[in-house]
Amino acid sequence: MSTIRAAIVGYGNLGQSVEKLIGRQPDMTLVGVFSRRASLDTEAPVYPVDSIADHADEVDVLFLCLGSAKDIPDLAPQYAAFANTVDTYDNHRDIPRHRSAMHEAASAAGTTAIISTGWDPGMFSLNRTIASAVLPDAQQHTFWGPGLSQGHSDAVRGVAGVRKGVQYTLPSEEALQQARAGEAGGLSGKEAHVRQCWIVADEADQERIAEEIRTMPDYFAGYRTEVHFIDEETFDRDHTGMPHGGHVVTTADTGGHHHSIEYILKLDRNPDFTAAVQVAYGRAAHRMRQAGQVGAYTVLEVAPYLLSPTPLEELIARDV
């Protein structure tokens, strides 16, 4: 088994989780972390983020542990010019544009880019596709939470004046039960959830910050959004955990017989699970590049066996 040389770009919560998960893989080694910061609390080599091109020959896969609001759209195509990349871009509406930009960059460079990994988009995307393909004329609903959203929290923290901030997504229990019974009809994701923000900011900035958050396109506009301002001590006490999870509920009737497929995730720590999925797709990116499959791919386009360190023959004998 050859060893995949992995590197991390960005060393926030997700980057630290990716480092931990790489250390548990039988076929990966961490060769370095690229960061804007000169000093990090890690034993891995740390390099300036603008030196990636100088180390391209040392890296098989770059794990892009960056924010979806600005960094990934702006920077990911540049990094795809130097190495295979895996990101966790989570702006659902913009994924086709992001895929196109990454496909152009990776195809030109002869690299492989797997985009929008994690659990949603990611594992939930796979389940939505499979369940709706299996059940004809299905009703399908995705519920997020209760839990903290990394991408939305990153977007909140990007608002000028926000010193600390998190965003929780809360599903409606009534809507969840309706979906399971096949009675949710045209219920939209915006109707079935509340977005709840907890912010530390100066009082003079709070009205402006609340308005910017509630009207932020793609993240909060159109949702029922609560913005709460608290002091730093309360934030540190009550809002530093990172749980999350959710449900994908698919129901259908096949001539008088009700069928339901429900996929559930309960995550103690969102960054760890997101990192675990991202790292598995890093293995797939390396294998696809070796097979000549260059360009950009979503999780829907990657064969499941490529994610596993277990040989295909063993997977077939064990799991099929």
Domain-wise residue ranges, the chain? 4-121+271-319, 147-242
Q: Is 118 annotated as a binding residue?
A: yes
89 among annotated binding-site residues: yes
Q: Answer yes or no: is 169 a known binding residue.
A: yes
Is 3 annotated among the ligand-binding residues?
Answer: no
Q: What integer pLDDT is reported at residue 235 of this predicted model?
A: 97
Helix (H), strand (E), coil (C) string for 266-277? EECCHHHHHHHH
195 is in an annotated binding site: yes
pLDDT at 38: 85
C-alpha–C-alpha distance, residues 86 and 33, integer Å: 15
pLDDT of residue 172: 84
251 annotated among ligand-binding-site residues: no
| pLDDT at residue 264 in the model | 97
CA distance 177 to 270: 25
- Predicted TM-score (pTM) of this structure: 0.85
244 labeled binding residue: yes
With tokens 């594992």, the residue in question is: 123
| CATH placement of domain 147-242 | 3.30.360.10
Instruction: Tabulate helix, strand, coil % of the chain (nearest 5).
Output: 40, 25, 30
The answer on whether 198 is annotated among ligand-binding residues is: no
**Local confidence pLDDT in tens for the 320 residues of the chain:** 689 999 999 999 999 999 999 999 999 999 999 999 988 999 999 999 999 999 999 999 999 999 998 899 999 999 999 999 999 999 999 999 999 999 999 999 999 999 999 999 999 999 999 999 999 899 999 998 989 887 799 899 999 999 999 999 999 888 899 999 999 887 877 788 889 999 999 999 999 999 999 999 989 998 989 999 999 999 999 998 888 999 999 999 999 999 999 999 999 999 999 999 999 999 999 999 999 999 999 999 999 999 999 999 999 999 99
**In whole angstroms, how far apart are CA 255 and each of 74, 137, 174, 259?**
50, 11, 26, 11
User: 256's torsion region: left (phi>0), alpha (psi -120 to 50) or beta?
Assistant: left
Per the annotation, does 270 bind a ligand?
Answer: yes
65 is in an annotated binding site: yes
Does 120 belong to an annotated binding site? yes
Q: Is position 122 annotated in a ligand binding site?
A: no
Q: Binding site annotation covers 66?
A: yes
14 is in an annotated binding site: yes
Partners of residue 262 on adjacent β-strands: 249
pLDDT at position 1 is 65
Tell whether 157 is in a known binding site: no
At the second CATH level, the architecture of 4-121+271-319 is 3-Layer(aba) Sandwich (3.40)
